[in-house]
């Protein structure tokens, strides 16, 4: 089922991340955002992303698959990047790594 | 959009995992299965699960959220368990941990 709007919003969100356009993050991420079940708020979410880009300078979110079951979207993101130090407990030290990650989140329209 | 069949198949798959009913795994997992992009085959998939249950004896897959955009399903699984040794690079040593994981997979009907 194609949902152009929900997909468009999600792609704009990924573009915002890849551009590290943090002032725009609030257009996509609600202040009640949770990460792995923990309420971290917009500021905590932004800090997490800024830390990710600091630790992985060439971080790039690549959308491999995007599906929608409103209000939810799910995506498979793929990464090819070079974390500076440790990554997932491994001493990567700038070596190139590839991995995928699945995301699942509700998307709601707001007037704000 | 409610898709009872696709959801039913997915829940039966999760029941198969939680029951560690490995002879039935082939009813749910295709031999061309990939894990994080790597082709590991049904036998590799089973070995991975058997290793998971060996390292985490009280492993239990709890479906927190399940959405469908045929032929795909996406789910958020939550876990509360006690890995015996290291887990994600951390020395857990039997302590109780909670985490969530998102999954995304195609479901196809077969006649086999």
Mutation target for A interface from B4, B66, B69, B87: give the one with most A CBs within 10 A. Answer: B69
Rounded CA separation A34/A74 (Å): 16
How many Å lie between the alpha carbon of A93 and the closest alpha carbon of chain B?
Answer: 16
Mutation target for A interface from B3, B34, B65, B76: give the one with most A CBs within 10 A. Answer: B76
Q: Domain map of chain A by residue range?
A: 4-106
Mutation target for B interface from A102, A105, A106, A107: give the one with most B CBs within 10 A. Answer: A102
Contacts of A81 (CB under 8 A, 6+ apart): A56, A58, A59, A60, A96, A97
**At the top level of CATH, which class does the domain A4-106 belong to?**
alpha beta
Which segments in chain B show pLDDT lower than 70? Answer: 1-4, 109-112
Of B15, B78, B49, B43, nearest to A34 (Cα)? B78
What pLDDT shows up at residue B111?
45
Say which of B1, B75, B104 has its CB closest to residue A76: B104
What pLDDT shows up at residue A37?
73
Give the predicted TM-score (pTM) of the model.
0.80
Of A103, A4, A30, A19, nearest to A63 (Cα)? A103
What pLDDT shows up at residue B37?
73
pLDDT value at A57 more than 60: yes
Residue A102 and residue B74: Cβ atoms within 8 Å? yes
CB of A107 less than 8 A from some CB of B: no
- Are the C-beta atoms of residues B74 and A102 closer than 8 Å to each other? yes
**Is the ipTM, as predicted for this complex, more than 0.90?**
no
CB of B35 less than 8 A from some CB of A: no
How many Å lie between the alpha carbon of A54 and the closest alpha carbon of chain B?
Answer: 21
Q: Are strands A38-39 and A34-35 parallel, antiparallel or unpaired?
A: antiparallel
Q: What percent of chain B has pLDDT over 90?
A: 62
pLDDT band at A74 (very low <50, low <70, confident <90, very high): very high
What pLDDT shows up at residue A53?
96
């Amino acid at each position: 089922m194609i949902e152009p709007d929900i997909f468009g919003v999600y792609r704009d969100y990924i573009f915002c991340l890849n551009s590290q356009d943090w002032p725009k993050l609030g257009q996509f991420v609600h202040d009640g955002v949770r990460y792995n079940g923990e309420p971290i708020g917009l500021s905590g979410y932004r800090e997490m992303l800024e830390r990710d880009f600091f630790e992985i300078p060439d971080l790039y979110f690549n959308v491999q698959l995007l599906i929608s079951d409103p209000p939810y979207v799910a995506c498979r993101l793929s990464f090819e990047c070079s974390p500076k130090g440790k990554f997932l407990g491994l001493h990567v030290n700038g070596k190139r790594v590839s991995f995928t990650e699945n995301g699942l989140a509700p998307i709601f329209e707001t007037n704000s």
